[in-house]
Amino acid sequence: MDKTELRKKDFITSIILISFGIFMVLYTITVIPMKDSYGGVMNIWFVSPGLFPLGIGILIILMGIVLCNRAIKDGGAKKFLEDLSSRKKESSGKTLRLLGILLVICSYVYLNIPRIDYFLSTVFCLMVFISFFYFDSRDILKKLFIFYLAGCILFFVLFLAGVDKPLNEVFPYFMDILVFLFLLAYIFYSWILVRGDKILKKRLRLTFIMSIVPSLVLIPSFKYLLLVPLPVEGAFIELMNIVRYSFL
């Protein structure tokens, strides 16, 4: 193995050793008492059971520092930072996709499901979730992520300030309509971003279909066949009720 590559691995190992040693020392100090009273007899620090792990932790830190110093002198740290920078550029799309998926799940579970019509929340979640996976353009993914994040922050502020309650008192489905408009804006913005690419336009159509069809099949099945109560039955569930009890 190349010496610089070997020193890079030594640098990584030293960071792990130092971190583990610090954890070991802090855990020992906070959990294991260095002196205490047992049966009315006060034990002094040099007979404490925490002395051994404390000493081991300090030795691990010292050895990690020595290894880190050697790795830095031989260029291991520099090699590590260079490789990290190049990998960061290569994996930025994957990282952004992961962050986007986490954002979609968190907004779906904590922001929309407790407050917004369940059908609408599910369609929106699937639309964004599939588009983050399906579109393989990092620039488009970044723009969609920023657009969706801005909308989530806006609705979070509205919910946090309690604005949604007086708005729903004016009209029962006011927030459902706002979220629906946000969904339409997301679809329209996605179409603008992919309109010059035939493959991505086809993927956008498939994303839209795969967001609508499963929701139209599963949600009515749970509600009307299995009789499962839905978290929030808003505007779209009410439309389903009208169709269900008027024509069926």
Q: How many CB atoms lie within 10 A of CB 192?
A: 10
Q: What is the pLDDT of residues 6-64, one digit of tens each?
A: 788 888 888 888 888 888 788 777 766 655 554 454 555 555 556 667 777 888 889 88
Same domain, 212 and 237: yes
Residue 5 near residue 75, CB atoms below 8 Å? no
Q: Identify the domain containing residue 214 by its residue range.
A: 91-247
Same domain, 43 and 125: no
Same domain, 64 and 162: no
DSSP state of 24: H
User: Could you give the 3-state DSSP secondary structure of residue 137?
Assistant: coil
Same domain, 154 and 53: no
Q: What is the pLDDT of residues 167-182, one digit of tens each?
A: 888 888 999 999 999 9
Provide mean pLDDT across the span 204-233. 89
Query: What's the confidence (pLDDT) of residue 121?
Result: 93
DSSP state of 113: T
Same domain, 211 and 108: yes
**84 domain residue, yes or no:** no
**82 domain residue, yes or no:** no
Please enumerate, as own/partner, the contacts of 137-145 that have beta carbons within 8 Å and a separation of 24 or more: 137/197, 137/200, 138/92, 138/93, 138/96, 140/193, 140/194, 140/200, 141/93, 141/96, 141/97, 141/100, 142/96, 143/189, 143/193, 144/100, 144/186, 144/189, 144/190, 144/193, 145/96, 145/99, 145/100, 145/103
Provide mean pLDDT across the span 91-113. 81
**200 domain residue, yes or no:** yes
Same domain, 137 and 221: yes
Number of domains in the chain: 2
Q: What is the pLDDT of residues 145-154, one digit of tens each?
A: 999 999 999 9
Q: What is the pLDDT of residues 107-119, one digit of tens each?
A: 998 899 889 999 9
Rounded to 10 degrees, the C-alpha dihedral 228/175/203/135 comes to -110
Same domain, 132 and 46: no
Find the angle CA(102)-CA(106)-CA(107) to the nearest 5 degrees: 115
Same domain, 59 and 107: no
Q: What is the pLDDT of residues 55-70, one digit of tens each?
A: 778 888 898 898 888 8
Provide mean pLDDT across the span 206-228. 89
Residue that wins the pLDDT comparison between 205 and 78: 205
The letter for the amino acid at 124 is F
Same domain, 9 and 109: no
If residue 36 lies in a helix (H) or strand (E), which one and from where to where?
strand 36-38
- Whole-prediction pTM value? 0.63
